[in-house]
Amino acid sequence: MSYKKWVIENADREKASAVSEKLNIDPFISYLLAARGIDTELSATEFLSDSIRLISPFSFKDMDRAVERINRAIDSEERICIYGDYDCDGVTATSLLFTFLESMGADVIYFIPDRLTDGYGMNNNAIDKIQSLGTNLIVTVDNGISAIDEAEYIYSLGMELVVTDHHQIGEKLPRAEAVINPHREDNELSFRDFAGVGVAFKLACALYDGDVDDLLEQYADLVAIGTIGDIVPLVSENRSLVKAGLKLINNDSRLGIAVLKDLACSKDKELSSGDIAFQICPRINAVGRMDKASVAVELLISDDYETATVKAQQLCDENEHRHQVENNIAEDIKNIISENPQLAEDRVIVIAGKGYHKGVIGISASHVAEVYGKPAIVIGIDENGEGTGSARSIEGFNIFDAISSCSDLLTHFGGHPSAAGLGVKEEDIPEFRRRINEYASSHYSVMPMETLHIDCKLSPFYLSVDLSDNISRLEPYGADNRQPVFGLFNMTLKSVTPVGDGKHIRFEAVKKGKIFKIVMFRKTAEEFPYKTGDIIDVAVKISKNLFKGKYYLSIQAVDVHKSSSDFDRYFLEKSDYQLFMLGEKNKTQLYPDREACSQIYKFLKHNKGWAYTDDDLYFALEQCVTLGQLYFALDAFEEAGLIKRGAKIELNQVSQKADLDGTNVLKTLKGRL
């Protein structure tokens, strides 16, 4: 498993106490707020308030021009086409603006590109289809800001364009009657991190003559789902919009969402932002990944129960299909790394496979990055040898810059510091892998370490349904307002049980005679490197579950460490090893002497090999050798024929004593040191 550095927040207790007294709120809630920088009476009041204060839509540059052009189209009975996107944000934005303009009496249609045939954003073939339907005005949602050439093509066909988008702006704006984007420098905005659906909602507010509260009652649910799905910060106005939207969702105000909720979740459960993120959004995204996202729009705008039920079931079926495809790719990636362990040792993991579904490779890349704690790129190769790749990074590593450095090898690429997409021919993948790792070595002599922020240390005896209720005042959770994470220390591991068809585990940990049951998702029993009796520290989130009319506490492990581990030493030794491999440092602590080799080999022999990672082995050895010594010793063992390395370390049968000092690994190492 990959290891994260735990950072325990250190809030100002005096400020937290003052806020608690002034606002008469739970001191523990005040402390958690202070740990997030919300440590004044005003900021805490604004954060906890249920009132909604919306920024004027006319604070967006060009909003007045967009309103004028759309109103003219409505009055002249011109056909308007909303050009959306196939993800959750784009689908909800399309549904919102389509429904709103239809209610305004507009002649309006919508178009959602197909992920597999159209790709992301605007393209000329789609524009031709839209023009053939008699369209006069195209209004984009959640895309269009980079459609420079496509905008010119739209005007060449006699149509006009209004762009609403929230993505970063390039060197120039597309030709349009109006370009509405919160990242324009000439906006007069105090908050800019809206999702695409949030920008579409602002346009609806600007077009509406009545009380904006009416629009919140009609559309806040769509805004909430798209905002949560796009993982934009859940602070400021986004937080208010999501709060309002959750109320609508839990009151079943929209037929399509109510039907989907009944199929995806417990009917009796009140949904949180986490439930939306993990139950509703994936189903909307799945139909865009595996089939046509327009099905999701049809669900969200439906007012017929039978139609909504069919569409909702289709979303659930496609989500199940997505799971199956995803599992197949995950199994293939596991086999590839098992046969080529060096791939997992690279700074940037690049995996390529035949026939990987384009709609799932992004999820697959996220899983690889999560498991190994490194940037990962998963490439699917089609029957023509064309590769489509999706990249996901770790905090502190700009994957877009890394991919850009290899642009001459790519057919196309684009993205952000944390995620990107690319095209590459099959024959160029080995060189791309070499070059991007060369870039990583030259620009990141020490790779960024992953961190996990712990809100506070907590005795497990304080965990309760009441505590879960108290901290729910911090909801809705999401980007920049994460669910609280608590550190439980010096727990004794009692048992580990596979759950969920073996994909997850539930383990029992005991402290002072009391047993706590903790679930850990996406971690199998075979991947969990701890054994009964180990003393562990557990980072957890808590929630409550309803079962047979009664609420029970649910404890979810986010990360697990061995209590005796020295992580400052671990990360320092990892840095030393990385620098040494770049030729920047020579450290004698890297050489595995006879005693170190003996300890490592005896441990492997006692355990009949090792089924986990090399770093897991380092901690299992109680850090009796340095990390570098372990890495080089294992390399020497393999060269000498003592072990075989793949998905696990296996001991070979040997008839004579191995000459480790004579291996090329250790001779070369000794020569450098």
Neighbours of 278 (CB within 10 A): 14
Average pLDDT of the residues in 495-520: 95
pLDDT digits 0-9 by tens, 271-316: 999 999 999 999 999 998 888 899 999 999 999 999 999 999 999 9
- Pick the range with the lowest mean pLDDT from 179-193, 211-225, 641-655: 641-655
Please tell me the distance from the alpha carbon of residue 34 to that of residue 10, in angstroms, as a whole number. Answer: 9
Residue 516, token pair as written in the block:
């706590």
Q: What is the pLDDT of residue 198?
A: 98
Q: Which long-range contacts (CB under 8 A, 24 or more apart) does 305-311 make?
A: 305/255, 305/259, 308/255, 308/256, 308/259, 309/259, 311/256
Q: What is the pLDDT of residue 599?
A: 96
Please tell me the distance from the alpha carbon of residue 393 to that of residue 348, in angstroms, as a whole number. Answer: 9
Contact call for residues 440 and 348 (beta carbons, < 8 A): yes
Q: What is the pLDDT of residue 624?
A: 94
Q: What is the pLDDT of residue 267?
A: 67
The answer, yes or no, to whether residue 505 has pLDDT greater than 90, is yes
pLDDT digits 0-9 by tens, 72-97: 999 999 999 999 999 999 999 999 99
Convert 285-301 to b/e letters by CB count within 10 Å (16 or more is b). Answer: bbbbbbbbbbbbbbbbb
pLDDT digits 0-9 by tens, 401-429: 999 999 999 998 887 888 888 999 999 99
Residue 453, token pair as written in the block:
């922020």
Average pLDDT of the residues in 173-177: 97
Residue 42, judged by CB atoms within 10 A of its CB (0-12, 13-18, 19+), counts as: exposed
185's CB contacts (< 8 A; 6+ apart) are none
- Which of the four pLDDT bands, split at 50, 70 and 90, describes residue 16? very high
pLDDT digits 0-9 by tens, 97-140: 999 999 999 999 999 998 777 777 899 999 999 999 999 999 99
Please tell me the distance from the alpha carbon of residue 22 to that of residue 469, in angstroms, as a whole number. Answer: 21
- Which of the four pLDDT bands, split at 50, 70 and 90, describes residue 210? confident
pLDDT digits 0-9 by tens, 231-280: 899 999 999 999 999 999 999 989 999 999 999 986 667 899 999 999 99
Distance set, CA 148 to CA 96, 161, 400, 432, 520 (Å)? 25, 11, 21, 29, 46
Residue (of 643, 603, 647) closest to 625 by Cα position: 603
Q: What is the mean pLDDT of the chain?
A: 93
Helices (H), 136-254: 148-156, 196-207, 212-229, 236-250
Please tell me the distance from the alpha carbon of residue 601 to that of residue 598, in angstroms, as a whole number. Answer: 5
Please tell me the distance from the alpha carbon of residue 111 to that of residue 90, in angstroms, as a whole number. Answer: 11
Please tell me the distance from the alpha carbon of residue 76 to that of residue 652, in angstroms, as a whole number. Answer: 81
The answer, yes or no, to whether residue 520 has pLDDT greater than 80, is yes
Q: What is the pLDDT of residue 379?
A: 97
3-state secondary structure of 189: coil
Please tell me the distance from the alpha carbon of residue 94 to that of residue 78, in angstroms, as a whole number. Answer: 18
3-state secondary structure of 418: coil
Please tell me the distance from the alpha carbon of residue 288 to that of residue 116, in angstroms, as a whole number. Answer: 9
Contact call for residues 182 and 202 (beta carbons, < 8 A): no
Q: Which amino acid does the sequence have at 645? A: R
Would you list the DSSP string of 362-401?
Answer: HHHHHHHHHHHTS-EEEEEE-TTSEEEEEEE--TT--HHH
Residue 255, token pair as written in the block:
């037929």
Q: Which amino acid does the sequence have at 518? A: I
pLDDT digits 0-9 by tens, 137-163: 999 999 999 899 999 999 999 999 999
pLDDT digits 0-9 by tens, 579-620: 998 887 777 789 999 999 999 999 999 999 999 999 999 999
Contact call for residues 273 and 478 (beta carbons, < 8 A): yes
266's CB contacts (< 8 A; 6+ apart) are 546
Q: Which residue has the tokens 């969990």?
A: 528
Q: What is the pLDDT of residue 118?
A: 73
The answer, yes or no, to whether residue 550 has pLDDT greater than 80, is yes
Q: Provide the percentage of residues in the chain whose pLDDT is more than 90.
A: 83
